[in-house]
Amino acid sequence: MNKKSMVLAVSLGFMTATNVAVAQMAQQPAKLNTCIGCHGADGISVVPNFPKLAGQHAAYLEKALKDYRDGFRRDESMAAFARGLTDEEIRELAEYYSQQTPR
């Protein structure tokens, strides 16, 4: 492989990796940063006190978040985060975490 071919191959590889990263970012819910601190971006919490959300059923996650937001489930820290979420934002977060791979 000559130098020009190698530069082209590396450039194409970098562009592909960048496009994949951008596409993955576009699929993340707008309010994901609300959850990352405790539950992780991939739903795998590293702190035992915070449940792992990856792979949970979307309907379960959606109901749980709505229940925290609406006061049916009681946890002050979760209620504080969920209070400002709309039904659509909750649906997006539940769907996102349900599609993550549990470990």
Residues 6+ apart with CB under 8 A from 50: 38, 39
- Cα radius of gyration rounded to whole Å, the chain: 18
pLDDT-derived band at 60 (thresholds 50, 70, 90) equals very high
Look at 6 and 69; give whichever has higher pLDDT: 69
Q: Which CATH number fits domain 32-99: 1.10.760.10, 3.40.50.300, 3.30.420.40, 1.10.3720.10?
A: 1.10.760.10
Q: Would the pLDDT of 20 be above 50?
A: no
| Residue type, position 103, single letter | R
Output the furthest CA–CA distance in the chain (Å, rounded). Answer: 66
φ, ψ of residue 100 to 5 degrees: the values are: -80, 150
Q: Specify the DSSP class assigned to residue 46.
A: S
